[in-house]
Structure 1
């Protein structure tokens, strides 16, 4: 039986983000993907979007699929959710590989990130990104997802869940990856979390920015395979 591998997307992402790597990884792993609440055409919950709700969704998914403990590759916010799940329900997660996961959340950081999540701003400055959002989430669903995501960031800014103190509870293998040209996630904040992990490792990807579609797919697949065989 092939090992189970969950590919978990980030904020404003969807399962389609992994199309190009999932088909390759399926040769060696049983690959699982699902859309987080409010993403990929799923209904936006009445309750505010929060990391805690997404964490519960991941835990419930693993248990419903009867695949725990499972390995998780989490991109951006997906990595944050996976690490929180490992703290909350350690029986569900066997190992975690992250890419571009932001750990340094403060009110100022949240406000800075939130300023770009405005529909009119995006239409003017990033029309290609708007087209992607409409494709992933639906022509009428992507706009309401923006303020919901802002609320999630603001909540993290007020009370970050993952800190150098809380991640000490994670004793499974964890590898943190960050791009050397990622303008959202710094090498320094990633290093701070890495140093607090019991069984952690860290990789800095050269010439790599934050958007997953700009990551070298061959390098990413190699890193996932390398980590899965540890």
Structure 2
């Protein structure tokens, strides 16, 4: 079976993709990973969070699992990592399906995202979310995960890892998907990214918001199956 790697979003973990993994297991060899500092993985001691670091996490995982090539589904930040990986290691990635991935990074956009990443305010106003993050990332302190994520977003605001020119160089099959009610990722930025892709497809999910858990697993797995069904079984490295 074809190899399919699922990449989680910012503040997420492999466990958030477990229902999707199970739904796709009959058709693909499905893998999930935790990025550095996520899902209980050790926080990088001497290194900040970055798209480059997370891409290296994927490459190391593929080498450990002896995976020569993979299809990638990436949710939110995971989609950004998947596209960056395809740019840096084109022979290792056969296709990328992104969902709710932010492409239009600027200082203003980063500031908007970072404003929501305040551990103290989250503990005060949404303690249930804080408790969930604590459980998800234990034994690592979720506050540090959030601080490092905020710093990475600020870096993306000044130096995006993916530019329109970089997207235009990606020749592999790519589908970018966004919900029409997503308040974090605009339809406009997703369309702009799609138009830069030489072999791109666009999917707009109706009545769909940003959080992954609000999207029916059956719907998402169906869309992934439809996308991958159109890709040749063998793509030259």
Shorter-chain TM-score: what band?
A: over 0.9
- Kindly provide the CA deviation profile for residues 84-114 of structure 1, in whole angstroms up to 9, marking residues without a partner as x: 0110010110000010000111111111111
Q: CA RMSD in A?
A: 1.1
Partner residue, 2:233: none
CA deviation map 1:203-225 (0-9, x unaligned): 00011111100112211010011
Secondary structure in 1 matching 2:209: coil
Kept in 1: contact 2:41–2:140 (CA 8 A): no
* Alignment partner of 1:26 is 2:25: yes
Counterpart of 1:159 in structure 2 is: 159
Q: TM-score, normalised to structure 2's length?
A: 0.93
Across the two proteins, how many residue pairs are aligned to each other?
Answer: 229
**1:40-189 matched pairs, under 5 angstroms:** 40-46=39-45, 47-138=47-138, 141-189=141-189
Tell me the secondary structure at the aligned position of residue 62 of structure 1. helix
Unaligned residue ranges in structure 2 (runs of 5+): 231-237
Query: Tell me, which stretches of 5 or more residues in structure 1 are unaligned?
Result: none
Shift of 1:124: 2.4
Q: 3-state DSSP class of the match of 1:145?
A: helix
The worse-fitting range, judged by mean Cα deviation, of 66-75 and 185-194 is 66-75
Q: Secondary structure at the match of 2:171?
A: coil
**CA 1:140–1:5 in structure 2 vs 1: closer, same or farther (change >3 Å)?**
closer
CA–CA distance in structure 2, aligned partners of residues 105 and 205 of structure 1: 22
**Is the Cα–Cα contact under 8 Å of residues 117 and 147 in structure 2 kept in the other structure?**
yes
**Structure 2 residue 28 is the aligned partner of structure 1 residue 35:** no
